[in-house]
Each structure stands twice: as structure tokens, then as C-alpha cells.
Amino acid sequence: CLCHLQVHLKMNGLNLSELCCLFCCPPFPGKIASKLAFLPPECSYDLKADENSSTKFKMTLHEKADWQYGDREKDLFESFFVRSSRGNRIACLFVRCSTNARFTILFSHGNAVDLGQMTSFFIGLGQRINCNIFSYDYSGYGMSTGKPTEKNLYADIDAAWHALRTRYGISPENIILYGQSIGTVPTVDFSSRYQVGAVILHSPLMSGMRVAFPTTQRTWFFDAFPSIDKVPKVTSPVLVIHGTEDEVIDFSHGVTIYEKCPRAVQPLWVEGAGHNDVEMYSQYLERLKQFVSVELVN
């Protein structure tokens, strides 16, 4: 409703004139979309150069990272930087959760976290579903340089993919793209252009306008993040996950994305879950294990 939109715009620093620009001034929507979608937190980690390598860095977590494990698990981290095609320095993290993992997950995180805050989750997820995890911070997030924009999102995941392929030699068929919330945007864009092992879309959005204005029925030329128009081009198996009570990206987004996927598998609709607690439900891990260990193997 309009009241909810006004609150959301106010929280993200948008004023009435900028809202008018969304409809009247085509050059400006990118800036407005950035304010609506990106909420980079205060950096929760440091990356310091490894004395024994010019290309590796040691990750030091701050208190706000809320690390849930011991020092031994930190030995599973490999941190480094890559340069995107748009010139930004992108922080990357490889978490070697399993010595016999067939799949590596290329994880694109949500909009209000950075790599440091995701480390505990990565350890737990990777160990439970027997996958290694590779992730990166978007431009303007964590220790990545630049500003968070839609174009940078696409360049960032391209750079991360290239690093995963060249640095670790992992074949495309053994890479699962996982996008959560805003992370589904680069995930859909990339997988619409390249064949990958599989795709997981966790709380996906159809487009920016459809989030801000739920009655939107078409993709306008100034719309941001038009995943709904790209997902029909995804030829890899796609698992869609969404909470039925999502208060940020309505459940209908997940349903419509699922319906548009040519190779969608049985989705996971988590009854009663919101936007940020899907992982707390037991069926979340159960469905991921089934998808990774059974459906993708057979």
C-alpha cells in the first residue's frame, strides 16, 4: 500500500522529487533503485595480506560478524580480491567445507549483510549439505570498492565466476548458483546467459517496480532488476524457495518466478516464514539436501 511504500522510501532516503523522477526522468531510476535495494552494513571484517602470498589475504572478523565457531573453522577460509570489468576490487571468500564435495555453491547474499556476517552461515550450510561455498561482496559492500548499482551487480558476479573457474578449476556443471533476496538478481542474470550445474533462488523478486508497486503488471523501460524477463532464459535446473509470509518480497514473486522457469524443480514454500527466517525451518535443509544429493546426481 502507499503508506508502506512511503515508509520504505523514507527509510532509504528518498524524497518526493526523487519519487517523481522514477516516473518522469529516465536517467535517474538507477540511482533511485540503488537507494531502494542496497543497504550496505558497516564492514564486519578485515582482509590483510598474507605474508607468504601476494594473492591471498587473511580474514579477521569483527564482533558484528557474530562468529559462531572456533578458530579451527577459520582455517577453512581462503580470501582474496578480484577486479571486476567495471574496475572495482571485489572481496571473495572460498570456504572449503568438505574434502569430497562434488558441488561448489556460488552464493550471492542479501542486501543488508556482508561476507563477515555470512561466514557462520556458510560453514553450517556447507557442512550440512556437503558443498563448498564461494561468495563475494558486491561493489560498495564489505571491503569491495565502488558503489552498489545494478550494473555493478552483474559485473561482480561475472568476476566471482571467473575467479571460481580459473583459481579453483571447477567445472560449470559442478557449480550451483545460489541467490538470496537481492542476490537473486545477479544470479538470474548470470544463469540466463550461461549454463551452470543448478540454480537456487531464495526469496526472489520479479523486478524492482513490482516490489515497490505490487499491482505492476508489466516491465517498464525504467524498471530495475527485471528478473521476471530473464528467468525464462535459464536452462539449468532451478529450485525456488520462499516464505509464505514474506513481508519484504511478497510470496507471489516466488510463485511467479517458479512458474516462469523452464526447468523448475519442486519448489519449497515455507509456510509461515518471513523474509529473514526461512533458514530456521527444518524443511529448508531437508529440501536442499534432497536437491543437491539426490536430484542433481540422478
List, by residue number, the catalytic residues: 181, 246, 275
Residues 185, 149: contact at Cβ < 8 Å?
no
Q: Which of 156, 43, 24 is nearest to 92 (CA)?
A: 156
Cβ-Cβ contacts under 8 Å for 107 (sequence gap 6 or more) = 118, 122, 133, 134, 135, 178, 179, 180, 183
CA pair distance 212, 178, nearest whole angstrom: 24
91 has which bridge partners? 81
Q: What are the phi and psi torsion angles at 176 (to 5°)?
A: -105, 120
CA pair distance 191, 131, nearest whole angstrom: 19
Say which residue the cell 545494478 belongs to: 150
